[in-house]
Chain A
Amino acid sequence: MPTGENTVMMRAHATSGLDDTARDSGPTHREPLLDLFPETIFARLTHALADLAETARLWRLCWTLGWLDVKLRYRGSVLGPFWLTASTAVMVGAMSFLYTALFHTSVAGYMPFLSLSLVLWNFMASIVNEGATCFTAAEGMVRSIRLPFGLHAARCIIRNVLVLLHNVVVVVVVFAIFHVWPGNRLIWATPGMVLWLLDAVAACLLLGTLGARYRDIPPIIASLMQIFFFISPIIWKPDLIAKGHEWLQLNPFYALIEIVRRPLLGGHAGLHLWHLAAIDSAALWLAALLLFMRVRSRLAYWI
């Protein structure tokens, strides 16, 4: 056997793409080589990063899987994925009338806030909830073909971004009815959304790994998210808290929600909120990367 390459690397993906262009590039193209053995510490990092790079290379597959997930859920129904829009609309409508009565506020002041909050929270909560099962749910794929694990995380994120886009329709309609328009401020929500997507990748890797190893994690997370729904400023505005505002800062969802929601409601997120969001995200990414590095090669055994 030729063992020319002594590099301690897992070169290329098993079924890595030798499409026509690659084939025609001749001898300069590197052979697909799968070389596996127990990892050294350094290899753990490079393999984890290679996993993510391979996921990026398979973006078309990620996209198709995510899109098919949404399409399949509603295949054969009349409204199709617009059932998402419809159920969110009903939810926003019902809750608006209940809570304007409870909080003694005007519908015009509350409904745009609630519609945006609910739609954003639904996205965040389903990333967290579905992220915890993103590897175990892909059991069939994991056990039949070697794929980067980041792919299952990306699929989960793309699916939920598509759901979010269907729900955004509700927000746009509510904003139009009440003539709330963020205008130029819309731009300021973009960095927040980018941070959300980055955090979503880390959350899926972290929770997906934990969920694969400990099967109690997904139900625990589901009930935690229930609690966070009420203790985070989703259905109530953060300025309703008169005393103890600093406690709110311990809630990781608070800053993350605000950096996207405030600009969209025509306000300013402010540097302080961005600091908090950056700290939360850095901690999340560090935890995700360390755990994923440590156990990536074992994930298939657990699923």
Chain B
Amino acid sequence: MRGDRTQAGVEVRDLHVTFPLYHGSARTLRRTLGRMRSSRFEQDQQQRMVVQALRAVSFTLQPGDRLGLVGGNGAGKTTLLRALAGIYEPVAGRVTIRGEINALLDTNLGMNMELTGRENIGLRGMHAGLSPRRIRDIEKDVQNFAELGSFLEMPVRTYSSGMVIRLGFALATSIRPRVLLMDEWFLAGDTSFMLKAQGRLEQLVQQAEILVISTHMLDVVSAWCTRVLWLDQGMVRMQGTPAEVLPAYMADDQPSEPAETD
């Protein structure tokens, strides 16, 4: 069945993402800016303060690619993931994604903490436009993987952080996205979970899917990723295989900017 379909793919061409700073105080910001060496703050034509979160980012991913995003805090990793998920639409440039996307971006994944695990599974299934029958299948799958037991009927706010992560991870991966976008938070799981998670991720990627993961943990990048994209102040500093990029990245003293863009 999969053979009938075109292959999953990600293409990003000259992507620019700029955030308007409407709700900050422009005056104090401007004072701060005078002291900053960074040139990522600037004024647009309408004299608004903007932050250039991503500048001229381009890359292409084929099925089987596992891309690791590395870079300091505020380098634009999360913003890039959100742009890939279609949450932030490009200010300039183009993002093209083929295949269903699933994004694990926030710790709570848009989960409602007051709802039970089961209710959250139902909602997530509906987000993906699944039929009630498929949602029941997913419920079973998630129940097995996340090992929540009777907690599935309890509000998510009563869960331990590990349980929330297991639920979120099981949920996102049980919907079988062809393009999986993942922020680093989920790596907070315990060791046994990490092993399971890796097994499940491997499965996804073996089915010729694409993974984009943002993380600070370089051992994860070298273990899981086939390609690395190094972001620095919203620009691509370097991209290539982990063997090429990681030594250079570690040699650099990882300049990080104080302003987190999200």
- List A residues at the B interface (Cβ < 8 Å): 1-3, 13-21, 23, 26-27, 31-39, 57-58, 60-61, 64-65, 68, 72, 75, 140-147, 213, 215, 297-298, 300-302
Contacts and interface: CB of A to CB of B under 8 A. Distances in A.
B123 interface: yes
Contacts of A143: 82, 87, 105-106, 262
A2 B126 contact: no
A250 B185 CA distance: 54
Interface in B148-181: 175, 177
B64 interface: no
Contacts of B189: none
Nearest to A35: B96
Interface stretch (B69-77, B107-115, B216-224, B244-252): B107-115
B106 to A, nearest CB: 4
Contact of B127 (A20, A61, A75, A298): A61
A17 B89 contact: no
Interface of B is mostly: loop
A141 B110 contact: yes
A140 B95 contact: no
A15 B90 CA distance: 18
A201 to B, nearest CB: 20
Query: Which of B19, B94, B175 has the most chain A CB within a 10 Å cutoff?
Result: B94
Nearest to B105: A144
Contact of B129 (A34, A57, A72): A57
13 contacts: A1-B96, A2-B7, A14-B97, A15-B100, A15-B129, A27-B5, A32-B100, A33-B98, A75-B114, A140-B108, A145-B109, A146-B86, A215-B23
B20 A64 contact: no
Contact of B87 (A17, A64, A142): A142
B94 to A, nearest CB: 4
B123 A144 contact: no
Closest 4 CB pairs of A and B: A17-B129, A146-B86, A61-B126, A144-B110
Given A37-B95, A39-B89, A302-B22, 18 more contacts: A2-B6, A14-B97, A15-B177, A18-B100, A19-B131, A20-B134, A32-B100, A34-B95, A34-B101, A35-B94, A35-B95, A37-B90, A68-B112, A144-B87, A144-B105, A144-B106, A146-B87, A297-B89
Given A61-B123, A72-B114, A301-B20, A26 B100 contact: no
Contacts of A142: 87
Q: Could you say which interface size class chain B belongs to?
A: 35 or more
Interface of B: 1, 4-7, 9, 11, 19-20, 22-23, 60, 82, 85-103, 105-106, 108-110, 112, 114-115, 119, 122-123, 126-131, 133-134, 175, 177, 262
Contacts of A61: 123, 126-127
A60 B1 CA distance: 28
A26 B1 CA distance: 8
A222 to B, nearest CB: 19
A14 B108 contact: no
A269 to B, nearest CB: 38
A80 to B, nearest CB: 15
A301 to B, nearest CB: 6
Given A14-B97, A23-B1, A145-B85, A65 B123 contact: yes
B102 A15 contact: yes
A180 to B, nearest CB: 40
A275 B162 CA distance: 59
A17 B109 contact: no
Contacts of A302: 20, 22
Given A20-B134, A140-B108, A300 B9 contact: no
B97 A301 contact: no
Contacts of A39: 89
B44 to A, nearest CB: 13
B102 A36 contact: no
B22 A17 contact: no
